[in-house]
Structures are given as C-alpha cells and as structure tokens.
Amino acid sequence: MEKSDFSVPRRMSKSAFVILLVKGLVGYAGPFIIWALLKLFNTDRQRSFMEVMRILLFLFICYLVFSVVTAFISYYYKKYYIKNGNLILIYGFLKKETTIPLQKVQSLRTRRGFMYRLLDMKGVSFDTLASKEEEVELILDYKDWDALIERIEQQEQALEEDRQPVEEDNIIREAKPVTNKYTLKLSNLNLIKGAFCQNHFRGMIVLLGILFTFYDKILSASDRILNLFIDYVNEHADYTSLSVTVFVIFLLLLYVIVMVLWIVKVFMRYYNMEVQTDDTHLFFESGLITRFSSRFSYNKVCTVYVKQNILEKYLGCCTIMLKQAFNATEEKDESDVKIYGSNFSGHFLNWWLGKDYATSQTILSAKSGKGVIGYTMRFDLPVCLIVSAVLCYYHLYPWLAIPIVYMLISLLKGILAARRSCITLKEDYIEIHNGKLADIRNYIKYTNVEVVSLRRTPFTPFFHRVILMVSTNGTSFKVRSLKEKEANDVYEFLIDNSRSQEVTEM
C-alpha cells in the first residue's frame, strides 16, 4: 500500500484517470465535430444513411481512442512525492522533473468541476513567486489533500521557528498559536447586487466570445455552410432596414442581454463564496458548477484594491480585489480574490495593513493637475470630431446629439479623474487614489514596492508636470500630471525607503 506521507514516488488515484479522460473528451469534442462536418459536407456525392452512420461511428471510435490514450499517458507518466521538504513532480515521456520547496509555496489553487465533485477529488496547482516551470496540476482525493496541507503547514511552522531569535537551551520553545482567525460567508444576493453595479458592458466580452466562437466554427466547418448563411442574409436584405425607434429598441435589448450575461458569469464564478483569514494565510472558495479555491500566504498580496462607483455608493457596497504577486505561469484572472457587493474592505485592510491602518499619519502627498483631463479625453475628442463632421456632411443634424452627449460624458470623466488622482504616503503604507466614474483606492505596502520612476513629458518644460510610476510584483500604477517638486519628494522618499529596507535585510 502506498504511504500517506508521500515519501515514495506515486501516481494519482485511479479516479484521477477518469477525470483526465473526461477533460480529454470535452477538449477534443470541438475538433471532432469540425472533422465530422468536413467529412460529411465536403463532397459532391450523396451518401446513404448507413454510409453516414458508418463514417460517424468510425470518427467517434477514433475520437474515443485518442482521448483514452492521451488521458492514460498523462496519468501513467505523472508521479509525485515529498523529499527533504520539497514536493517533486515527475511527468512526461522524458520524465521531466519539477521541484517545489514546500516552504516557498505562496499559493495553492484548486478547481472542482462536476466530475471532481462527483468523485470527491480536487485539482491542485502550486504557485511560487520564482517559479518559471510549466504548471502541473495534481488531482488528489481528500485524504491526500489533507495530508499535503498538513505537510505544508509543518514546513511553514519550521521555517517560522528558524526565523525566531535563538533562545537559551534551558527554555522550552512553545508553538505560537494562530490568532485572529476569521470566516466570511458572502451573500449570493449581495453578489448579484454587486455584479449589477459593475460596468455592464463587460458582458459584451462574453457575448462577443460566444459569437466569435460560433463564427469560427462555421468558417472551419465548411464553405458550403457559410455560403448558405450568406445567401440567406442576401435574400432577406430588403427587410433589414431599421427605423430609429427599432434601432433604439434593439440597442436596449442588446444592453439587457449583455447585462444578464455578465451577472450570470459573475454568479457562476463567485456563488457561495467563503473567505477564511488568519495571521499568515487566506483561503477562499467559490463557484456554482465548478468550485474554485485558493490558499495563499499573507505575503503574496501586493495590492488591496477598493472600488466604489455611484451605484455601489447608493446601495452601500463596494468591489474589493486582493491582487497577488504572480509568477511566469500563473493565470492572472484566477490569481486575484474579487468580492462583489459586500463592503468588507475594512476587514481585509485590517488583516493586511494592521488594525491601526486608519490612524496612520500622512507623510507626503502629491495631487494630479488638469493634464489628466486632456489625457482622459485624448481618444474621445478626435473620434467625436470625425463623427460630427460625417453627420454634418450627410445633413444628419439631429444625430449630432450623440457625439455632443458623449463628449460631455468624456469631459465629466476627465474632471472626476483629475479630482481623484493623487498619491499619499502614510507611515505604514502607500495609497494611490484614482478612478473616473468610480472612486478607486489602491493600498500598497512599502515592502512590496519594486520599481519607482519619474517620467517627463513634452509638456513638462512648460507646465512642470511629470508622471510618477510605482510598480510591485503584480501591479503597476501611473500617477499623471504631478507637480515636479512634489513628485520628486515622493520619489526620493520611496527610493530612500527601499534602500533602508535592503540594508535591513542584509
């Protein structure tokens, strides 16, 4: 029997093979369908029903065999074990080996789709800040998952003890208890409310993704299918002229569809979200069909993002993101913790910055000028001028209301962006304030700052305004149109602070 302490190389459980097979079947379904359509339609010869069924049966067998073989290779040639505090992964024909020190695991991300949950398994991915290796997923049952978490916690505790000052031999060192453990269960009603308060046109990405996928399938399947579609559109072209009223109704319906798609996407991704925090780690889990979870260390958070737009302010909620430092292989969309609709910003800032963060004194600050207005409107102004010129050329004067309203909105966005844009250096952290129609505050620790730079613009000699850039291992910010002297003071302080931290670490 395989040992539960992972001391010898071992394969994943047999249930993992089933999951790999299902993933292969789903992943190869698209190419199989396209292949079947090409075989059936790319010919001038009429086939009988039995011939069609034989072709489909042959293609299905090929599809099934290929999926089984690839799943077996992925399962059989993947082993893992723990040696000297390192998680060692062996995979592939060439037995490629990846070593991950357990004490340097910054994040554990899991995925539980329908098959995972049916078989009581978890897909686990490991992240370290310095990792540049190809990401390898382990599919573990709950027994192995609990044993692995226990080993990781033991390594973290041992590392913490090594960092403590050496004590006298006659003093017995006791393990430091974990304090400030807190669990948040987020309301699904608040989730829907928070999703509704976002920019609904984000749902356009979902809609366009569906349409482009369908369009690509048509193009890949057969020219005959595409020609039939084009002929149908040409036949009914006479009925496609729309009045202004119909056009407005169409836009409203499209907006509602986009809004619903966006809310459904958020709801499925963050359904029944639960967040647990303690002094060293944060764990969150969410998802309706596929359950996503991530366990990452306190030190991996590089920025806390808090946004509140007009709707969120009216409904008493906000959007919170814990932005993580990422490695070379990690998918950014899965790395950040996003919380919609629930105003728990104070809790997360207390956890990350300390309970006294709100009373931290201001050291320096720099506020942006009116140049931010011009930067915000830099694309809107020429587009509106071109559109207005075209409308005037065709004597469509009533339609000029659209570019005029759009320019007024753009001007309002620019004024609000200039009013909000600033950087404030507190005793314990940095606050970067920005946003157009939404009020956005980004909180950064001094220890997370990796790059600070000043950039002059062609207008600097005339207005003495510069751009300050602050970057962490995961986020980057530009504060524009700052007074040159104020920006220099902030820059020098951040540089001196960075040098003092390097000397302290040495």
pLDDT digits (tens, 9 = 90+) for 257-315: 878 888 888 899 899 998 888 887 888 888 888 888 888 777 788 999 999 988 888 88
Which of the listed ranges 143-147, 205-209, 337-341, 453-457 does the model predict with the highest average pLDDT? 453-457
Q: What is the largest CA-CA distance in the chain?
A: 95
Radius of gyration (Cα) for the chain, nearest Å? 28
Over residues 429-441, mean pLDDT: 94
Alpha helix stretches (DSSP H) within 43-185: 49-76, 114-118, 142-163
Predicted local distance difference test score (pLDDT) of residue 175? 42
Predicted local distance difference test score (pLDDT) of residue 212? 59
Percent of the chain with pLDDT over 70: 77
Q: Distance of CA 106 to CAs 162, 273, 319, 328, 329, Å? A: 18, 21, 24, 14, 14
The pLDDT of residue 439 is above 60: yes
Domain with CATH 2.30.29.30 in the chain: 10-162
What mean pLDDT is reported for the chain?
Answer: 79
Over residues 381-392, mean pLDDT: 92
Three-point CA angle 494, 500, 501, nearest 5°: 90
Instruction: Give the pLDDT band of residue 173 (cuts 50, 70, 90).
Output: very low
- The answer to whether the predicted template modeling score (pTM) of the entire model surpasses 0.75 is no
Which of the listed ranges 115-124, 333-342, 440-449 does the model predict with the highest average pLDDT? 440-449
Q: What one-character-per-residue DSSP string does 217-240 give?
A: HHHHH-HHHHHHHHHHHHHTGGG-
pLDDT digits (tens, 9 = 90+) for 336-384: 788 998 888 888 898 899 888 888 899 999 999 999 999 999 999 999 9
The pLDDT of residue 230 is above 60: no
The count of other CB atoms within 10 Å of the CB of residue 60 is: 12
Assign domain 10-162 to a CATH class.
mainly beta
Predicted local distance difference test score (pLDDT) of residue 211? 57
